[in-house]
Amino acid sequence: MLGKVVHLSSVHSPFDTRIFQKMCRTLAFAGYEVVFVVPHDADEIRDGVQIRALSKPRNRRERLTKTVWNLYRAAVHERGDLYHFHDPELMPIGMLLKLRGKRVIYDVHETYRMTMLSKSWLPWPIRWVASLGVAAMETISGIAFDRIVTANPGTASQFPPKTTLTIHNYNNAGLEDSSSGDGENSALAEPKQRGQIAYVGGMWVERGIVTMVDAMAMVPEDLEPQLVLAGEFVPSSLPEELKKRDGWARVKPLGFLSRSDVARMLRESQMGLCLFHPVPNHLVSYPNKFFEYMASGIPIVASDFPLLREIVEGSSCGLLVDPENPAEIAEAITWLLRHPEEGAQMGRNGRRAVSERYNWDSEATRLLSMYSEVLATAGSHR
């Protein structure tokens, strides 16, 4: 056994794509003892990863108090060689673990000092205070923690380069079945559901769910368009508002799906939507779903942001639109539904780009190398 590593999250799901599907499984496969402390129904072992369940919080206040405290107690109990946490609210926990002589990694999934400015549930003055508070804490974190890991170069630029590493959310086809059968064209051979358009992930206003629904109302009826949704709404009351919009009749929410069910849904779809709105964090982020669509061999209708444009135009894997313009989105969807051969070629292009460049293999190597370096100076803290 290479050592015991403990991942911590008070926010994410126990089978989160970045944390569990990619990082924890990679580490377990490489020979580490891996524990993931996270709100869940019960302890279990999945794919060699030990999930230590915390009771699920009833609200945000309970999560920030009781859940965080219980998480710290569980973390100490595990006596890990290295701790890797994934939420900004856990920075104080990371500091306490450092005071106990532990090796600690802070994984910055998003540019949190920017995301605080788009928290609609906070009044504007509070958003600015929260953003400045997060920025100050992250500045201290960049000095105190053994490594800072980010999901994109834009976020990495806000931390010390010597201790900061970017590990992209590229598709982990090597760890999960994102295709059926063998060979590059296997996923493309899956029977398509006529008019099916896919969206995977959390659904809230800033991620484009309202404009997607509005766009569906503008797609010609003869194309039989249907938007299938895999994920959860935030807030949970959002569907009641969406049901009042004309496009809702063409939407099929499926709720949270397993990885295999998501893969099947994508293979059956004619395209995938990634239409985040231009809030600051989205402009510097690579969404997981973007690479999942590419790996599944379907074309993408994506927000015309510089980072995404580089991939879409460089790989010829989809169409770019103004994510706040339902008519422009509908036009792109209509074009792909009326030109299935061209869309299929875009899908093949995207799948090839994932195979050759945008895949988890290279990122996994970087992750394992970082762990080896940090633990080489750690000694034993059990």
The DSSP bridge pattern shows strands 300-303 and 271-274 to be parallel
Q: What is the pLDDT of residue 173?
A: 56
Question: Rounded to an integer, what distance in angstroms lies between the CA atom of residue 279 and that of residue 298?
Answer: 26
User: Residue 210: which of 175, 257, 243 has the closest Cα?
Assistant: 243
Instruction: Assign 3-class secondary structure to the chain.
Output: CCCEEEEECCCCCCCCHHHHHHHHHHHHHHCCEEEEEEECCCCEEECCEEEEEECCCCCHHHHHHHHHHHHHHHHHHHCCCEEEECCHHHHHHHHHHHHCCCEEEEEECCCHHHHHHHCCCCCHHHHHHHHHHHHHHHHHHHHHCCEEEECCHHHHCCCCHHHEEECCCCECCCCCCCCCCCCCCCHHHCCCCCCEEEEECCECHHHCHHHHHHHHCCCCHHHCCEEEEECCECCCCHHHHHCCCHHHHHEEECCCCCHHHHHHHHHHCCEEEECCCCCHHHHHCCCHHHHHHHHCCCCEEEECCHHHHHHHHHHCCEEEECCCCHHHHHHHHHHHHHCHHHHHHHHHHHHHHHHHCCEHHHHHHHHHHHHHHHHHCCCCCC
Q: What is the pLDDT of residue 96?
A: 98
pLDDT, one tens digit for every residue, the chain (382 residues): 799 999 999 999 999 989 999 999 999 999 999 999 999 999 999 999 999 999 999 998 999 999 999 999 999 999 999 999 999 999 999 999 999 999 999 999 988 777 777 676 677 788 878 889 888 999 999 999 999 999 988 889 889 999 999 999 898 754 444 443 344 444 445 679 999 999 999 999 999 999 999 999 999 999 999 999 999 998 989 999 999 999 999 999 999 998 899 999 999 999 999 999 998 778 888 888 999 999 999 999 999 999 999 999 999 999 999 999 999 999 999 999 999 999 999 999 999 999 999 999 989 999 999 999 999 985 444 3
Q: What is the pTM of this model?
A: 0.79
Q: What is the pLDDT of residue 288?
A: 85
Question: Rounded to an integer, what distance in angstroms lies between the CA atom of residue 37 and that of residue 50?
Answer: 8
Q: Which domains does the chain have, with CATH numbers?
A: 4-170+360-376 (3.40.50.2000), 187-356 (3.40.50.2000)
